[in-house]
Amino acid sequence: MKLKRHFILILFLTITFIYAAPLPIFYTGDTHGVYESQIDKEKGTLKGGYLVLEEILNQKRSQTKNYIYVDTGDQQTGTIFSSLVEDGVHGGAVIEVFNQLALDASVFGNHEFDFSYTNTRDLAKKAKYPFVCTNLIDKTTRQSVSGIPYAILERDNINIGIFGVTLEKLPEKVKAENVSSVTILPPVDAINKYLDEVDQKTDLIIVLTHQGFEADSLLAVNLDNRIDLIIGGHDHIKAETPYFINGKYLLYSGSHLNYLGLAELEVEEDKIISLKNQLIPLEITKKDFDIPLAKYIQEKTLKIEEEMSKVIGYIPEDWIPDKYQSTALSRWIANALKTEYERIYHPDMAIINNGGLRKAIPAGPVTLRDLNELLPFNNTVVVFSCYGKDLLSFFSLNELHSKEKPLDICEYTHLNSIEPDRIYQVISHDYIAGQWDKYLGFKPFDVYDTGEPFLEAVIRQIQIQYSPNIEEGWD
């Protein structure tokens, strides 16, 4: 009897070994063109950036042969690198980087639509990996915007189905004309259109999303159990421990290449029977790189340095910062921020802090280097809501700061009147939103970090207002 039990156990373990297929999944998202690594002089390390990502990816890939690497969108918008033109495509340099990183699949984020609809499709054409686009339909062709409603990746003894979902509120996050040619389907309806077909061909189904955790949670609840995994982006959250909703794992790797996600799965009979997840810090010992990607980035960095000296506009008066009083510079910056996002977010007002303006620029020509030195903090544009009574208390606090100087003051665009119980929409940046207790005196709600650099908004407005003959972007 004991011998029989041993035989059964051995048979069971053998069957499990044969049919439980291991699958490592590497994942990133919301990388926003972060091409440079930050140097930690005390630790002697490099943090973040494409080269550190490739170093760690290659190290981990060498330990396995049956892996995939996916990304959840917003590869674009965030640095000058992501504004470079490659082969006539704005943001094409970023696509080339991910080509060299051997990305297997991605999904459109909202920032892939920042330049134009034509440029969005050109980004997808330049990519050697599929931009899987399940719920965005071209109104003319009635096909997926990228032409790829789903993808199937084959890895040894397992086939992986990939769907791609972009947020339904896309028209609220980009210029209206950039998505006027797009029909946006509810994600569940779009996926269900192809689910039977994909399920028959695959052992595992993943949905790559760029819509945020709340929408992902609803998606998990409303999709049936043939969907195994959701890997999401958009709201920049990270989760070392995966969420588990309605039988589906939800994974998030954060943003700006701080981490590389690695989910190690075992798949058996079209189900995930185990999942071990980790977020690997993108940090390595400082080194020199002698690889094709390093040479490519160095080439582009030299181009960026050349571009930094170019004149992008001519300002009509001296811009002289002052932390504690309103100036021509601070007034122009606040108004420019509101103007830049008028068509997208329809803000009632803009708020900036004067201490974030760090360089005096005399009337006359302005270069990109001038602006990088004027706004050196890599702030991102943020939209938030508040009540009129909150704004009234903010005005009082700001007046106090101007007199007692515990903090730099805020510049803001003015409203004709304030209704205490009305909700107002404010355009600002991440520093103000993060330091609301010090600068605003109230906690904002419905806070949305667009991921767009504050600096780029200012650059675009200078080009529009003071340099009408200079083409947008860097070529």
Q: Could you tell me which CATH class the domain 311-466 is placed in?
A: alpha beta
* Angle subtended at Cα 458 by Cα 234 and Cα 346, rounded to the nearest 5 degrees: 60
Low-confidence ranges of the chain (pLDDT < 50): 1-17, 470-475
What token pair was written down for 22?
Answer: 């291991």
Distance between CA 285 and CA 295 in Å, rounded? Answer: 19
- Give yes or no for a contact between 151 and 105, defined as CB atoms under 8 angstroms apart: yes
pLDDT of residue 19: 59
- Give yes or no for a contact between 296 and 303, defined as CB atoms under 8 angstroms apart: no
Distance, CA of 432 to chain centre:
20
Distance between CA 105 and CA 337 in Å, rounded? Answer: 34
> Which amino acid is residue 425, in one-letter code?
Q
Read off φ and ψ for residue 141, nearest 5 degrees. -85, -20
Look at the block and give the residue holding tokens 């091409």.
Answer: 35
* Burial of 95 from C-beta contacts in 10 A (0-12 / 13-18 / 19+): buried
- Give yes or no for a contact between 407 and 453, defined as CB atoms under 8 angstroms apart: no
Distances (CA, A) of 318 to 164, 326, 364, 366, 433: 49, 14, 8, 11, 29
- Give yes or no for a contact between 429 and 379, defined as CB atoms under 8 angstroms apart: yes
Return the exposure string of 142-172: e unless at least 16 CB atoms fall within 10 Å of the residue's CB, then b: eebbbebbbbebebeebebbbbbbbbeebbe
Distance between CA 344 and CA 349 in Å, rounded? Answer: 14
Look at the block and give the residue holding tokens 């938030």.
Answer: 384
Question: Which residues, at least 6 apart from 254, have a Cβ–Cβ distance to it below 8 Å?
Answer: 29, 30, 236, 237, 238, 279
Distance between CA 215 and CA 29 in Å, rounded? Answer: 16
Distances (CA, A) of 145 to 83, 113, 233: 22, 11, 19
pLDDT of residue 256: 93
Distance between CA 356 and CA 361 in Å, rounded? Answer: 15
- Give yes or no for a contact between 126 and 98, defined as CB atoms under 8 angstroms apart: no
Looking at domain 19-301, what is its CATH homologous superfamily?
Metallo-dependent phosphatases (3.60.21.10)
pTM beyond 0.75: yes
Full strand arrangement of the beta sheet holding 158-166: 150-155, 158-166, 204-210, 229-233, 248-251, 243-245
Would you list the DSSP string of 229-280? EEEEESS--B-SSPEEETTEEEE-B-STTSEEEEEEEEEETTEEEEEEEEEE
pLDDT tens track for 238-283: 999 999 999 999 999 999 999 999 999 999 989 999 999 999 999 9
Q: Are strands 248-251 and 243-245 parallel, antiparallel or unpaired?
A: antiparallel
User: Fold match between 19-301 and 311-466?
Assistant: no
Look at the block and give the residue holding tokens 């544009």.
Answer: 381
Could you tell me the residue ranges of all domains in the chain?
19-301, 311-466
Which pairs with CB-CB distance under 8 Å and at least 24 residues apart come from 238-241?
A: 238/279, 239/277, 239/279, 240/277, 240/278, 240/279, 241/277
* Burial of 445 from C-beta contacts in 10 A (0-12 / 13-18 / 19+): exposed
What token pair was written down for 286?
Answer: 């400082």
